[in-house]
Chain A
């Protein structure tokens, strides 16, 4: 059974989102997603300063098995990327909620509230 922390928000495309004290959003992929992908071996992150539309493919994660896109959960501007992941993609398998991918300054601060909560995401993945 995959972990779904109750203090995070989620998308149906398996991103998790945490709102930081400064209003930025930290984004990663869920435990369910890393389990489905298997051993991760490559990560390509969005450049800092890039403007993303909601739902825009902006990150690529590749496991031994397959390549998969990660989508911006809301519109915003990239303010940080987790560079360490590019050298150690397996950190995502070890703890998907620790291994964040990138941080967004959301265009609309309320967009976060409309994302799925843990219960809704649990239902989503059945």
Chain B
């Protein structure tokens, strides 16, 4: 039995095509996935991402706990509301999940993790907490849903339906959040509004009780924000050069071979963290690069083999980019492969040429690679 978000009935009423995504019944597209993609690049679109899981961590030791549990260093978070992207690693340095952590106060951090990995993550955090006897409580917020409103007009549309939220959120820097109390389902609905996303566009991710998310969805839809499915979410994140857990990295690879070296913080030599020793002992021999298909003859897809002058690699995520009108991909290839190299990709019975490029491909409506 698939789990359903509070918006499930609305998705079905809108004739969404539904798929099993990490055990959840989620919309992949409502109409044209390409038009949904363009709506986010050019205007405003919204995604029900209530399948993702909020873990609230509280207690005197919470900062010390997360400095140990996460590969990125939450010591960077000193201003309430600031957020950080991090991997959650195993002892052997492989990737259990990727997540966003928000600093709220010295005894309260909030983490958002992927749907399919949430049970595993929660158990892992719990085992670390017990092992190190730290004063931390971990509370899974099943009462909260998440709505991502993304696009150049996204923030304006949110302020249009939530005018009282504007003062607290208009000065928010990217990767920051604020708690807002305003009228939605009742006079003092509580919302957590973050200037984050997974599309390469500006916008907000709003965490709130399920009934508030439901009402907001309807209000934003009436304000012209286009409902978008996970299909468009995938092409948008890939154009933006963002990894998808389970495709671009998982429990078989190191973050250092997944384009995530920038998220692993070794700066404070006195800080130990889960996976640190293993990462230091095993330098990366491969790296994650972008590919742009030069020939016509198909679409780049995950698991296709990439032939390079320095050995073979593999595509981890591939798709047709609606913004570029070309196939693009992320691929794990030997370290010696460089931006600008021409490689060939096996698609069915053909070898098609592709150029190695540095992601992101597209960000904030602009094409960032030479095509």
Q: Is the CB of B34 within 8 A of A64?
A: yes
Cβ contact within 8 Å between A44 and B33:
no
Known: A38-B33, A39-B32, A39-B33. A67 touches B299 (CB 8 A): yes
Does chain B have a CB within 8 A of A81?
no
Complex interface bits, A76-95 against B, C-beta within 8 A gives 1, otherwise 0 = 00000000000000000100
B320 located at the interface, meaning its Cβ lies under 8 Å from any Cβ of chain A in the complex: yes
Interface 0/1 of A58-71, CB less than 8 Å to B: 00101011110000
A2 to B62, CA, bound (A): 54
> With A and B bound together, what is the CA distance between A41 and B320 in angstroms?
7
Report how far A25 CA is from B230 CA in the complex, Å.
Answer: 38
Residues of B within 8 A of A42 (CB): 296, 298-299, 320
Q: Are B29 and A44 in contact, CB atoms less than 8 angstroms apart? A: no
- Judging by beta carbons under 8 Å apart, are B33 and A65 in contact? yes
Which of B296, B298, B299, B322: most chain A CB closer than 10 A? B299
Residue contact B298 to A64, C-beta cutoff 8 Å: no
Which of A13-44 touch B at CB < 8 Å?
Answer: 35-36, 38-39, 41-42, 44
Chain B residues, CB < 8 A from A66: 301
What residues of chain A lie closer than 8 Å to B34, measured between beta carbons? Answer: 39, 64
In the complex, residue of chain B having the shortest beta-carbon distance to the beta carbon of A38: B33
Is chain A's interface secondary structure helix, strand, loop, or mixed overall? mixed
Rounded to whole angstroms, the CA-CA distance of A66 and B298 in the bound complex is: 10
Contact of B163 with A by CB under 8 A? no
Residues of A within 8 A of B299 (CB): 41-42, 62, 64, 67
Q: Are B33 and A93 in contact (CB under 8 A)?
A: no
- By a CB distance below 8 angstroms, the chain A residues around B28 are 38, 65
Q: Is B169 an interface residue (CB 8 A)?
A: no
Q: Is the CB of A64 within 8 A of B297?
A: no
Q: In whole angstroms, how far apart are the Cα atoms of A66 and B319 in the complex?
A: 9
B310 contacts partner chain A, Cβ-Cβ < 8 Å: no
From B17, B298, B301, A38 is in contact (CB under 8 Å) with B17
22 contacts between A and B (CB under 8 A): A38-B32, A38-B231, A39-B33, A39-B34, A41-B299, A41-B320, A42-B296, A42-B299, A42-B320, A44-B298, A60-B298, A62-B298, A62-B320, A64-B33, A64-B235, A64-B320, A65-B28, A65-B33, A67-B298, A67-B299, A67-B301, A93-B32
A residues sitting closer than 8 Å to B (CB atoms) are 35-36, 38-39, 41-42, 44, 60, 62, 64-67, 93
Other than the given A38-B17, A44-B297, A65-B231, 8 more pairs (CB < 8 A) read A35-B17, A42-B320, A60-B298, A64-B33, A64-B299, A64-B322, A65-B33, A66-B301
